[in-house]
Structures are given as structure tokens and as C-alpha cells.
Amino acid sequence: MNILMRRLLFIISLTVCVLSLPAQELRCTVTINSEQVQGTNKEVFNTLKQSIEEFVNTQRWTNMTFQEKERIECSMLLVVKSVQDGVFNCEFTCQSRRPVFGTSYSTPTINFKDNNFVFTYQEYDRLDYQQNTFTSNLTALLAYYCYLIIGHDMDSFSKLGGTPYFQACESIVTSAQSASLDNAEMAGWKAFESNRNRYALINNLMDEAFKKYRLYYYDYHRHGLDEMVNNVGNGRARIAKDIKVLKEAYNARPATYVVNAFLDAKADELVNIFKKGTSEEKKMVYDLLMDIDPTRQNTYDEINRD
């Protein structure tokens, strides 16, 4: 066998080894909208997009082994409002989904919008993340949302399965609060600054008072949606049976973020599920949703339309 052939076989064997390695946890698409920014080198946005995608998709966020087909599908959208001296002021939207058993349908698991996504970045900056170490606000923000995505995915497959990843979010919040950040970058991390910021969300998720909500989140997916491939009526009834948990959480703390966050992801899906439900299911679910989330009346009205 000549040297060229040996080298070719060696390269092929390396490729096979790489392809057979366990995949990372996330398969994330990043979009950056810079239409509001004028007079800035547009290439920096392409570089930032590539850096974020590489950071999110190649980082090992857990000690679990994922196969390529098991990666969590997600997306991140940054709408850049301004850039000044390397400080990016953005609106950030993070979405993820997971497949429903036995179907081609993927259910949204999170749909969060963060209006205070502010960070410092210079073109070609390397994005490094070390657990329990604050390196930059951008990596902290991205890591927080990566763990949030994984935590919700795990909660949807096993009871309270997302706890270790929500704990990682808590740790990031604590590190950010202790970092030397200016007011703009600190926004979203502060305790009691808002009932809809990053601190408030993870505080809700880790609060024992919302344990029932997280258990319902599991039942919604595993015994509701995943059951529908066998019996649509049974799956829908299971979702309806304990949906009162949302109202209980809302009544206990009307300003809670976690209920709003759930409905941001699930409102349209709930409509599609219950517009085919029994009259009793329609009335009960519609009344509950209107009680806790009246701003989406036009959406929920679809439940009662023939």
C-alpha cells in the first residue's frame, strides 16, 4: 500500500471517529437583526453571529451523552438597537422545542424575550465560559439561556429533571450580581428590579412554591402531548385535569413570571388542543386562561369558535 493510500485511509478513519463522537446538547440557529443600527461596520454582526453559534453549539453544557438526532432544537434572535464603543444594546428572543412522541410535531418549550440584553463585544473577541467564573456579560447571558433551554427540556421528560441546569442558572445570576458591571449590563440580573427579568424567572423555577407548576410541566408533555399518539382525548383530558395549577400559582403571586413564560410558549398550542375538546373542557380552560392572561383574549377566543 503506497503512502498516499495510507494517508487517505488515515484521514477517512479520523473522519469516521469524529462523526461517531457524541454530539453537543444544542442545535441552535442564531439570527442578528442590525437594521436599526446605522453607520457601523456590518461585518461585526456576521462575526458576532458566528461566534455565538460556535459558542452555543460546541460547548459541552452537561455530562450527558447526546446523539446527533437528540440535540435540542433552539433559536436565538438578537435585535440590535444600538452599538456604541463596543457596547451592544439588544432585544433578545430565545425559543426552543422538543419532539412529541410518535409524531412529526415539535412542541415549543420556551419562548422568552429579554429586553435588557446588553454586552460588550469587539470583533473577533473569543467567547470563553468557565462554570462558576464570570468572564464576560455576553458569555454569562448565553450560558444562562443555554442552561434554561436544557432545564426546560429535561423537565419535560422527567419530573424535576431540569433542577441541575436551573441551579446552574442561579449560579450565573449570583456571579453576575457580584461582577463589576455598569448599570446597563447589570439590568436583568438584579433581584427585585422587575418581576419579568432573568433573576425573577429562575427564582420562580427554583422556588418550592412552584414545584407543582414544574410537575404539571412534566405531565403536560409526557402524559398529555406524548399520550396523544395513542389517544387524543386522553392526552387532552390529562392536560385539562391539572391546568388549574397555573391559576393556583397566579393567585398565590399574580406578578409571577413563570406562568406568563409558560403561556408565552404555549398559548397557541393550548388553543389548538382545546378547540377540538369537549364543551366542558373548552369552558373550563377558556375561563381559566382569560382569568390569568386576559391580554391574549383574541387568541383564546379561538377555543370557542366552530
Q: What is the pLDDT of residues 221-276, one digit of tens each?
A: 999 999 999 999 999 999 999 999 999 999 888 778 999 999 999 999 999 999 99
Same domain, 171 and 229: no
Question: What is the pLDDT, as a whole number, of residue 252?
Answer: 83
Burial class for 78, CB neighbours closer than 10 Å (0-12, 13-18, 19+): buried
The mean per-residue pLDDT over the stretch 132-136 comes to 91
Same domain, 69 and 150: yes
Of the ranges 5-9, 22-26, 196-200, which is most confident? Answer: 196-200
The mean per-residue pLDDT over the stretch 83-104 comes to 96
- Which residues touch 15 (CB under 8 Å, ≥6 apart)? none
Q: How many CA atoms lie within 13 A of 52 on its CB side?
A: 28
Tell me the residue type at 28: C
Judge whether 16 lies within some domain.
no
Domain boundary among 172, 206, 240: 206
Domain boundary among 155, 172, 206: 206
Distance CA 294, CA 220 (A): 22
Question: What is the pLDDT, as a whole number, of residue 22?
Answer: 55
Res 20 pLDDT > 50:
no
Judge whether 17 lies within some domain.
no
Same domain, 51 and 197: yes
Same domain, 68 and 120: yes
Judge whether 12 lies within some domain.
no
- For residue 61 the three cell numbers come to 453544557
Res 194 pLDDT > 70:
yes
Please tell me which residue, 138 or 19, carries the higher pLDDT value: 138
Same domain, 73 and 189: yes
Instruction: Give yes or no for a contact between 57 and 26, defined as CB atoms under 8 angstroms apart.
Output: yes
Judge whether 14 lies within some domain.
no
Range 12-21 contact pairs with CB under 8 angstroms and sequence separation of 24 or more: none
Judge whether 10 lies within some domain.
no
Domain boundary among 183, 206, 229: 206
Q: pLDDT confidence of 21, banded at 50, 70, 90? A: very low
Q: pLDDT confidence of 42, banded at 50, 70, 90? A: confident
Same domain, 140 and 62: yes
Q: What's the total number of domains in the chain?
A: 2
Same domain, 187 and 92: yes
Same domain, 55 and 118: yes
Q: pLDDT confidence of 7, banded at 50, 70, 90? A: very low
Question: What is the pLDDT, as a whole number, of residue 12?
Answer: 38
Question: What is the pLDDT, as a whole number, of residue 185?
Answer: 97
Judge whether 2 lies within some domain.
no
Same domain, 132 and 258: no
Question: What is the pLDDT, as a whole number, of residue 119?
Answer: 98
Same domain, 281 and 227: yes
Same domain, 144 and 236: no
Q: What percent of the chain has pLDDT over 70?
A: 93
Distance CA 145, CA 166 (A): 10
Res 188 pLDDT > 60:
yes
The mean per-residue pLDDT over the stretch 60-88 comes to 95
Mean of the per-residue pLDDT values of the chain: 91
Res 17 pLDDT > 70:
no
Question: What is the pLDDT, as a whole number, of residue 36?
Answer: 95
Parent domain of 105: 26-206
Judge whether 231 lies within some domain.
yes
Judge whether 212 lies within some domain.
no
Same domain, 139 and 67: yes
